[in-house]
Structure 1
Amino acid sequence: MERDQLLKETGYVLGLIHKDRLSPDEQEHVVQEVVRLWKDHVNEGFLQYRKSVSDDYTAVEWSDELGGTVFYDARGREYIDCLGGFGIYSAGHRHPKVLQAVRAQLEKQAIHSQELLDPLRTYLARLLSLITPGKLQYAFLTNSGTESVEACLKMAVLTTGRHRFVAATGAFHGKTLGALSGTSKATFRQPFLPLLHFTHVPWGDVHGLKAVFEGARFSGDDVAAVVLEPIQGEGGINVPPDGYLQAARELCDAYGALLIFDEVQTGMGRTGRWFACEHWRVTPDLIALGKGLGGGVMPIGACVGTPNTWKRYIENPFLHTTTFGGNPLACAAAVATIHVLAEEDLVEEAARKGIHLLSGFQQLAREYPDILVEARGKGLMIGLEFTDHATGYAVARGLFNQGVLVSGTYINSKVIRMEPPLTISQRQMDAVLERLEAALRRTRAGRMATR
């Protein structure tokens, strides 16, 4: 591309970035342009997916409410965000204190030198040791949840000298090759086989988990670690049966394996505790964080471990490194997010609001049992399970048309997740319940009309 043309193209996009609002003509132009460019340069398949879950698949995000729970598309339409970026918005959309911290850091330094000691990484690691459960002390900072899982897997291999892992069916741990090995859905795994040595055991099956440990010991291929989400997210918001996480902890201890909790989606107050494993008073050897750690402003994750899991890494700190992980801007966002969660009691708020929403969803399940099978979850991590995939899509479409954003889960598409920002208001929660009831009523009427 010629220099003048490149300057014209980049200048046009920079102009859009600096615009607060679009005129009606600009709105339509941007929408059609984004759809065309997405098709030509990103992935046309996603456009086809959007057609299946909303009447207006051309909705293009534009802005959101400062510190709030709503966002707006390029046409100015408002949506209550009940997807929450799959659990990103722990402090709401663009919380002012998180923004202020990032802006202040940006005025000093954006990216660290890679050689000197960067202070915010140090302070954030200390804070993570304070808020995580058990004896977790050291933190390796990453750019995302899947990178955090990768780091946990490498630390487990370093610590145990073993290479066999155990995960649960329904698990989702990310899509980079190591994390993908723990993810259970064949659709995601098969194109990339062979992967790391993972055995998948039915979720909640203590006897099956014990059998894997026994077989691995007998064959001389001992387990390095068990990797579990304390509550399965993409598997369908599956809460573990009583005693399951405790049994996993006991088996790991008995066989010299590590217990890794993937709290990428469940952590940072999402379930009404700082970390979901605290509901069952089970502590891991390693924990993977992401999503909500950056407060919905910056991408950041972390692998946090005990002193035992860090021994070999301390011997050679260059065994695992990252260029952008733990950069000053991301660390500033994470520190501010932890501050906001504590100052505004958002973890406790998530517990309280979750009780209200879950109770309302369960009442609707009793009124529409032919459509909504069950509502389950903890805090503001709630799953709505429908009778079949088509019904789930129909309800999601109905909610979207009423200005409520939801999404199915990756592995169990009959389940719609409800993971709004922890700042969602009482008025917004009531509106979501009213609009869900309307979507259920229309879905039932549509079924009867086709009989």
Structure 2
Amino acid sequence: MAILTNTKETTEENLQADLGLGRRENAKTQVRHFLADFARLEVEYPGIYPHIIERGEGVYVIDDQGRYLLDAGNHLGACNIGHGRHEVANRMAQQAERLEFSALDSGNSHDAVIGYAKKLAEILPIQDACLSFCGSGSEGNELAIKIARAYHGLRGESNRTKILSRVGSYHGSSYAAMTATGIDAFSAGFGPMCTDFASLPQPSHDRCTFCGDTDSCNLGCIDGTRRRINEEGSDTIAAIIAEPISIVQAVKIPHPEYWQQLHEICRETGALLIADEVVTGFGRTGRMFGCEHWDVYPDIMVMAKGITSGYMPFGAVAVTGKVNEVFHKNPLLHLNTYAGHPVACAAADVTLDILLRENLIANSKEMESVLRYELEKIAQTIPQAIRVSVIGLMSSIEVNVSGVKDIPRMVRRVRHEAYQNDLLVRVNPDSDRISAFFYPPLTVTKENIIAGIRSLEVAFNAALADI
């Protein structure tokens, strides 16, 4: 992946010459039926947006002008085995020819879901795992919350309805999942939210309510969690839902003792522990699942994204045998038309095969040191850089933009400059900071990382030059 050296001024005339006015109008026509906001981008970067991505190949996606872009975030953490895998496409096609769809309803099942459920259950850090399937992480977290409340209700504890989640978390866009999401921006304008939800403190290495801006953690967030449970009433808590590692505002790796203590709180209070592994699952952090870093075994686990590496929308919810026992006499009434979709199961099955056969989890762990070194190196060249966080192939670099009047515009500028340097990267605002996330497919090489981080450095320095 080359770094673009073209320093030509970004003007309307140059962009039209580079991209072609006809292409610009064609791209705008293609997305005119989308409920999406390209208007501000069009004003700031006339003639550029929307980008049209035509195909994928390994760690790259290719746009309609033939530009190869390292996909370090546009896949939202889904494409773990990389783009354009013929093996996956062929298996999906074969399944579609044999059985394209049959609902898991009225006592009917099919070979694709039976085989995959057995294979998945064998690798889960959950005792005697039982599975239900869905179409996304949001659906999975919604189902996990339903299971938690129904579990306690069937055990005669109908007062246990409260779901506790952490500030700064993200659990999805459907209503219960959105209510559990600990970032107000995601629910603004969509109220009222669901009832019987409460917030817990987020473990964070800086700007912590309990530890301040120091790197010295006293696990005050655990004490804060205990206090909040006491305030709510421990006998009213159905479950605590949490991501092993939060990734919305920045990659936030918790204190090594945090998860064990959170798990102990659940055991003490009788609350179920829901691990949201939607992003952290299937090798992203250098382990098969994020919670394995701390030897934690949740009662309920939610998976999506990397489960099919983005080749099909798919998700799964796993529960322990103990939780499942409660539903033997009173089955959970939860119907999802496309749950266990045969073609999605085929995609998930071959994705897992590739992940294990090609040792991609080991590569994720091995590339962690390369990614950390390169990010820490560019942090030295960006005066506003605050923090680098890396675990496996999930990383972020935080930059102070407190002197910027229009932070959302700065976010868009960094994205734009990265694209101009052959990099697709996620950039999010967080108060007086912006964070760039770098999480490429697990097939990434050392050379890919070096080139991608160099592009990110160029993007940041170009965007910050005007401050």
TM-score over 0.5 for the alignment?
yes
- The whole-number CA distance in structure 2 between the counterparts of 1:94 and 1:392 is 29
Q: 1:398 aligns with which of 401, 417, 422?
A: 417
SS of equivalent to 1:414: strand
When normalised by structure 1's length, the TM-score is 0.86
Deviation of the 1:376 alpha carbon = 0.3
- Measured at CA, do residues 363 and 163 of structure 1 come closer, stay the same or move farther in structure 2, by a change above 3 Å? same
Alignment of 1:383-422 (within 5 A): 383-388=396-401, 389=407, 392-409=411-428, 414-422=434-442
Deviation of the 1:189 alpha carbon = 1.9
Deviation of the 1:443 alpha carbon = 4.1
- The whole-number CA distance in structure 1 between the counterparts of 2:135 and 2:278 is 12
Q: Which residue of 1 aligns with 2:248?
A: 234
Q: Which residue of 1 aligns with 2:394?
A: 381
Q: Which residue of 2 aligns with 1:216?
A: 232
Does the CA contact (< 8 Å) of 1:53 and 1:394 recur in 2? Answer: no
Q: 2:26 aligns with which of 28, 33, 38?
A: 33
Deviations 1:293-324 (A, max 9, x none): 01221111000110122233333445112111
SS of equivalent to 1:33: helix
- The whole-number CA distance in structure 1 between the counterparts of 2:78 and 2:168 is 21
1:112 partner letter: S
Q: 2:131 aligns with which of 125, 132, 139?
A: 139
- Measured at CA, do residues 121 and 188 of structure 1 come closer, stay the same or move farther in structure 2, by a change above 3 Å? same
Deviations 1:362-392 (A, max 9, x none): 1211232x22221103111101111124655
| Greater helix share, structure number | 1
Tell me whether 1:344 sits opposite 2:361 in the alignment. Answer: no
- Measured at CA, do residues 54 and 357 of structure 1 come closer, stay the same or move farther in structure 2, by a change above 3 Å? farther
Tell me whether 1:430 sits opposite 2:450 in the alignment. Answer: yes
SS of equivalent to 1:94: coil
- The whole-number CA distance in structure 2 between the counterparts of 1:53 and 1:283 is 48
1:406 partner letter: V
Does the CA contact (< 8 Å) of 1:227 and 1:260 recur in 2? Answer: yes
Q: Identity of paired residues, percent? A: 27
- The whole-number CA distance in structure 2 between the counterparts of 1:198 and 1:153 is 11
Q: Which residue of 1 aligns with 2:170?
A: 172
- Measured at CA, do residues 28 and 294 of structure 1 come closer, stay the same or move farther in structure 2, by a change above 3 Å? farther
Does the CA contact (< 8 Å) of 2:418 and 2:455 recur in 1? Answer: yes
Tell me whether 1:442 sits opposite 2:462 in the alignment. Answer: yes
Deviations 1:94-121 (A, max 9, x none): 3222222112111211111544221121
When normalised by structure 2's length, the TM-score is 0.83
Task: Give the length in aligned residue pairs.
Answer: 417
Alignment of 1:49-448 (within 5 A): 56-65=48-57, 68-115=58-105, 116-135=108-127, 137-161=129-153, 162-190=160-188, 191-204=190-203, 205-217=221-233, 222-317=236-331, 319-368=333-382, 370-388=383-401, 389=407, 392-409=411-428, 414-443=434-463, 445-447=465-467
SS of equivalent to 1:386: strand
- Measured at CA, do residues 401 and 166 of structure 1 come closer, stay the same or move farther in structure 2, by a change above 3 Å? same
Deviates more, 1:409-418 or 1:156-165: 409-418
Deviation of the 1:397 alpha carbon = 2.6
- Measured on the aligned residues, the alpha-carbon RMSD in Å equals 2.4
Deviation of the 1:428 alpha carbon = 1.6
Deviations 1:372-431 (A, max 9, x none): 221103111101111124655443332111110011247677111111111122222121
- The whole-number CA distance in structure 2 between the counterparts of 1:265 and 1:315 is 34
SS of equivalent to 1:429: helix
Unaligned runs of 5+ in 2: 1-16, 154-159, 204-220, 402-406
Deviation of the 1:351 alpha carbon = 1.1
1:167 partner letter: S
Unaligned runs of 5+ in 1: 1-23
Deviation of the 1:165 alpha carbon = 1.0
- The whole-number CA distance in structure 2 between the counterparts of 1:87 and 1:157 is 29
- The whole-number CA distance in structure 2 between the counterparts of 1:180 and 1:236 is 19
1:127 partner letter: K
Q: Which residue of 2 aligns with 1:13?
A: none
1:83 partner letter: G
Does the CA contact (< 8 Å) of 2:241 and 2:276 recur in 1? Answer: yes
Does the CA contact (< 8 Å) of 1:69 and 1:93 recur in 2? Answer: yes
